[in-house]
Amino acid sequence: MTEYLERTFVALKPDAVQRGITGQILHRLERAGMRLVAMKMVTADDELLMKHYSEHVDKDFYEGLKNFMQEGPVIAMVWEGVNAVENIRKLVGSTSPKDARPGTIRGDFAHMGYAHADDKGTAVKNLIHASGEKKEALEEISLWFTESEIQDYTRSDTAHVR
């Protein structure tokens, strides 16, 4: 990896899987020049979610978040590309879907805001998680994947996107 070529963790949450829009989301990431290097479908157990959301475990909303993340399978992925952490976060859009700009994944496919979720007593259904910074990406990748699960291969368009 170079200074700019990096890996990041992305998870398609149960609402993305249940709505059948995973292919469209993967297409957007690939179209942006990112390279998928690991992917698996996971049923997230309590222990995994406590580690992944460790900074939120003691917050009032954690139980709802945990329940939401266990409503169905999660597609966990590792993506690689130039400034992957920053660029994928831009593609994903604001954490609050109602504030996400059109053209982002959340802006185009989700609409729920925090107030609506609070009124319903549920977590915000925002489709996707993407690591927010390089250190977080490395921690999340190692939490969800072993090194042997991460693949190395050459895409035919590598000369154009790296």
Domain count, the chain: 1
User: In this structure, what CATH number is given to the domain that contains residue 26?
Assistant: 3.30.70.141
Buried b (16+ CB within 10 A) or exposed e, 74-93: bbbbbbbbbebbebbbebbb
Residue range 40-70, pLDDT digits in tens: 999 999 999 999 999 999 998 899 999 999 9
- Helical (H) or strand (E) element with 129: strand 128-130
Over residues 22-28, the mean pLDDT reads: 98
Model confidence pLDDT, tens digit, residues 133-153: 999 999 999 999 999 999 999
Task: Please state the pTM of the whole predicted model.
Answer: 0.92
Q: Flag whether pLDDT at 113 surpasses 90.
A: no
As beta bridge partners, residue 75 has 12, 41
Residue 159 within any structural domain of the chain: no
Give me the domain span that covers residue 24.
5-147
| pLDDT interval class at 157 (50, 70, 90) | confident
CB burial class (10 A; 0-12, 13-18, 19+) of residue 2? exposed
Establish if 10 belongs to a structural domain: yes
pLDDT digits (tens, 9 = 90+) for 68-103: 999 999 999 999 999 999 999 999 999 998 899 999
Residue 60 counted as domain residue: yes
Active-site residue set:
129
Within a domain: residue 88?
yes
